[in-house]
Structure 1
Amino acid sequence: MAAKVFFFCSLALAILCFAYASDSSPLQDFCVAVPTASVTLFNVSVTVNGLVCKDPKQVTANDFSFSGLHIPGNTSNAVGSKVTPVFVNQLPALNTLGISMARLDYAISGINPPHFHPRATEIFMVLEGSIRVGFVTSNPENRLITKVLNKGDVFVFPVGLAHFQQNVGTGNAVAIAGLSSQNPGVITVANAVFGSKPDIAPDALAKAFQLDKNIVSQLQAKF
């Protein structure tokens, strides 16, 4: 009897784990997100994906549109690149739909530093220029998968894997990315490791990266 109870409990647990393994499909046509600043404490509203839904009768075409991806991003920064996101915060109608996109601009030699998206796979297409892209597989292999893309080429970065893009052409480069989440999240590796608040203990990072502690402190000062 005890064995049967254990079996059915294990089966139920497995089913529950499977059920929560991915986002559920929306049960309504749409759920246009209301900006957090517009939600008062006296409004009792149901949230979906952590955001309050606008009354469907009050939505307009503007809730479903975004303008600005034709404008080049400002690449005058240390890495020489600029990401212009169109996530749920920029386009409220993306809430519950599981997609988003971004424009990426690169100065000559500009790089989008190694980073990963914890909640999304990314599909990347070059509009102008030549861009070296790559991602690194997980431990213990840590194999670099890399390629130089030209205008019209497409590349996929699997969810959760560290990846990068760098302009290797002779002029500015532009790309468009699509992501499989309304809010994919971005964790830039160097910023997370050397720019955490509060700082990770320098002696811990020195040991992890096999660096002198003073070099670690210099890197933390930069980020």
Structure 2
Amino acid sequence: MESHDWDQRYKSAELVWGTEPNRWVLRECQDQPPGRALDLAAGEGRNSLWLAALGWRVTVVDFSRVALDRGRRLSEQLPAGVARHLRWVEADVRTHVPEPGAYDLVLIAYLHLPAEQRRTVLRRAADSLAPGGTLLVVGHDTTNLTEGSGGPSDPAVLFTPDDIRADLADCRLHLVRAERVRRPAGAAHGGSGEAVDALVRLERRAPPVPTPER
């Protein structure tokens, strides 16, 4: 789907994904100290808005102008001053090159692309991590087609935790977690029962602090 397709999808509903953060984003990020965050393919910005409310300074990237405009309007409902923590960028993540070494958290949630495009986006995301930064990738797992519910029906755009690890194998990131996780599938988005997600969390280790000579 291209930007105009997503524009039409967002126009067709008041909120496509709701306002609450994704459960896995909440689980993995709620205890992290705020810093600079990058939310790629953010849609209406539900995860970005949640992060901003926690004190993060968030760059929100999506190629749907309709989604970004809706996210901006939602940000106006946040407590005073929170909206200024958000920077909205209309861009296609397939070609967008984030600022290198700039972000303490990079989030890629439910971005489904063919393998080669996915690999390019992931490697640019890895390059944008600051020392000590976290890259969190979550999306519908390949096994969701046979063992889960909802999500894309094209196996070419699904992935496993091992696929993500392979995409980033030489990026010098420390693997924190790579797992399949299950959650209730949203009936509003074509699901019932449980969905199977792939979740991978990696970190760019900060260099060791030199010990002062005595």
Same fold? TM cut 0.5: no
Higher Cα radius of gyration: 1
Structure that is richer in helix per residue? 2
TM range (shorter): under 0.3
Return the TM-score normalized by structure 2.
Answer: 0.26
Q: Relative contact order (C-alpha < 8 Å, sep 6+): which is higher?
A: 1
